[in-house]
Amino acid sequence: MAKKLDLERILSKQGFGTRKQCRIMIINEEITVNGEMCDDPDTELSLENLKFTVKNEPWDYREKSYLMLHKPSNYECSHKTQHHPTIYSLLPHPLVERGVQCIGRLDEDTTGLILISDDGQFIHKMSSPKHKVPKVYEVTCKHPVLQANIHALLNGIKLVDEDQTIAALAVEQVSEHVIHMTLAEGKYHQVKRMIAAISNRVEGLKRIQIGELKLPDNLAVGEWRWLSANDMARLSPS
């Protein structure tokens, strides 16, 4: 049997405010459910395939939130920022109210694919070093990248404050100054430190893939979208 909840609780769980605030919106006829206006906060509804609008904005009921964002430069992956706007300002307010968190932060000057969720198990699975989910970065370097540099990145580099050498899983040369580098770890400033260790410098850094999930060409900088079932399958660690 499909789970049911009253409309007031549903809206509150979805991040639209306290139960009192949601009750007022319902009584004020600001909510429609599956295409019909509903002004009774105590109406019990099945959560399966539930569609509703809040002040004419359409929403689907989602037990948990799973989304991707194309992070712009000069945004911080934190709710409490220091010098730049937060990436959470790019999301609808109800999602922020639900307590979504980014999975693996990117530096403020790094762009590209970032995953966001309020599912603690999913966040742990995607971020735990045990699962070693690969991530691919497009790295633009100041100086030309030589074949010897690529061999060094693949064979392992000793970084300051690290006990063991760190190696890239794969390195693909895109152009004289651009490589695609695949990593399984997520150490502090790892890409920049590895490139510095080969006597080069990162001029531009963009994450273009997590697991088998690539940053879509049609997702503009600063935009977000829900993860589809196919997206989720591409993220499942083996």
Same domain? For 193 and 96 the reply is: no
Same domain? For 28 and 15 the reply is: yes
pLDDT given for residue 161 in this prediction: 78
Q: Which domain holds residue 126?
A: 66-130+218-235
pLDDT tens by residue, 64-94? 999 999 999 999 998 887 788 999 999 999 9
Task: Determine phi and psi for 41, rounding to 5 degrees.
Answer: -60, -20
pLDDT given for residue 158 in this prediction: 85
Same domain? For 88 and 39 the reply is: no
- The band of 238, judged by pLDDT with boundaries at 50, 70 and 90, is low
- The pair of three-digit structure tokens given for residue 198, joined into one six-digit string: 């080969």
Share of the chain above pLDDT 70, in %: 98
- The band of 41, judged by pLDDT with boundaries at 50, 70 and 90, is very high
Domain boundary among 40, 60, 80: 60
Our answer to whether residue 231 is catalytic in this structure is no
Q: Do residues 237 and 103 touch, judged by C-beta distance below 8 A?
A: no
For the entire predicted model, the pTM comes to 0.90
Domain CATH for 146: 3.30.70.1560
Share of the chain above pLDDT 90, in %: 82
Same domain? For 144 and 206 the reply is: yes
Same domain? For 230 and 122 the reply is: yes
What is the average per-residue pLDDT within 37-65? 94
Same domain? For 223 and 125 the reply is: yes
The number of folded domains in the chain is 3
Q: Is it the case that residue 60 has pLDDT exceeding 70?
A: yes
Q: Is it the case that residue 58 has pLDDT exceeding 90?
A: yes
Same domain? For 145 and 35 the reply is: no
Cα 156 from Cα 201, distance rounded (Å): 18
Write out the H or E segment, with its range, that includes residue 19. helix 19-27
**Please, which residues have CB within 8 angstroms of residue 44's CB and are 6 or more apart in sequence?**
4, 5, 6, 7
- Which is the catalytic residue, given 39, 40, 42, 107? 107
Same domain? For 126 and 139 the reply is: no
Mean pLDDT score across all residues of the chain: 93
